[in-house]
Amino acid sequence: MLIRISLIVAIVAALAVGILNIVEVRTKITTLISQRDDFHTQRDQVQAQLDTTRRDLAKTRDDLTQTQQDLTNAMTQLSQAQSDLKTQTARANDLSGKLTKATESLNDAQAKLEAYTVTGYTPQQVTTLSKSLKSTQDALEAIQEENGVLERTVSRLNNQLAQLIGTNYVVTLRADLRGKVIAVDPKWEFVVLNIGGDQGVLDDGELLVSRDGRLVAKVIVRSVEKDRSIANIIPGWQLGDIIEGDEVTPAHPAS
């Protein structure tokens, strides 16, 4: 009887140990499955991050290529504009010399005309010289106007080139530049000025807005047209309300 009881106890103990082993194995299997799922999730996340990084890198390369192309184009345009300006300046100097000579000849002819008996010029010759002088003056004025356009183009291209090369570039404007505010939009914080490209205004140029000698605000040019421009009010620089008629002057005048 005792042997039977011992055998039963042994069987029950063995069953208990087996059940415990099964539970422990099941727990380990569950843990392994969870770890496997976590690994797959982390792998998918890393792969997604890698794909995003590759796309960002490709976009950055494209942006860099475009910037390099823009820089090359700007340098080419600047070189051409400087060459044109040099040619036009030489023409202007030549015409100026011719104008001086023509003026001297005209003045000499007019002086001699007063002493008609000793003059070597006829009235027709004086008239011809006068017409030649007027033609030369018109041509010189046209060249000087073209030079002004070329100088503004060179200045604009220099500005664009400096912006492409560096980040701390400050746009300088003509020291004698003066203008007025002709319209204000306080909601969108921009103003319209009565000066533009013909007067020497450049994109990203900063202007001080004043009234009766007192600073009101600082604005930065965002759009330039022939004879007017649009500028945004720089945050932190508005000391009062801007009104029509306020004066504007360069914040960074060229020396």
* pLDDT digit string, tens, across residues 89-118: 888 788 777 778 877 777 776 666 565 545
Here the tokens at position 251 are: 């914040």
* pLDDT digit string, tens, across residues 177-190: 999 999 999 999 99
User: Residue 232: which H helix or E strand, with range?
Assistant: strand 229-233
Number of helices (H), then strands (E), belonging to the chain: the values are 2, 6
Looking at per-residue pLDDT, the higher value among 4 and 223 belongs to 223
Looking at per-residue pLDDT, the higher value among 247 and 169 belongs to 247
pLDDT for position 112: 63
CATH architecture designation of domain 179-250: Beta Barrel (2.40)
Query: Per DSSP, what are the bridge partners of residue 169?
Result: none
pLDDT for position 137: 77
Here the tokens at position 89 are: 């300046």
pLDDT for position 145: 74
Domain boundaries, the chain: 1-168, 179-250
Beta-strand ranges (E) seen in the chain are 179-185, 190-193, 206-211, 214-224, 229-233, 247-250
Here the tokens at position 38 are: 């976590």
* pLDDT digit string, tens, across residues 111-168: 665 655 454 556 676 667 667 767 777 777 777 777 666 666 666 676 666 666 555 5
Quote the pTM value: 0.45
* pLDDT digit string, tens, across residues 193-242: 999 988 989 988 999 999 999 999 999 999 999 899 999 999 999 999 99
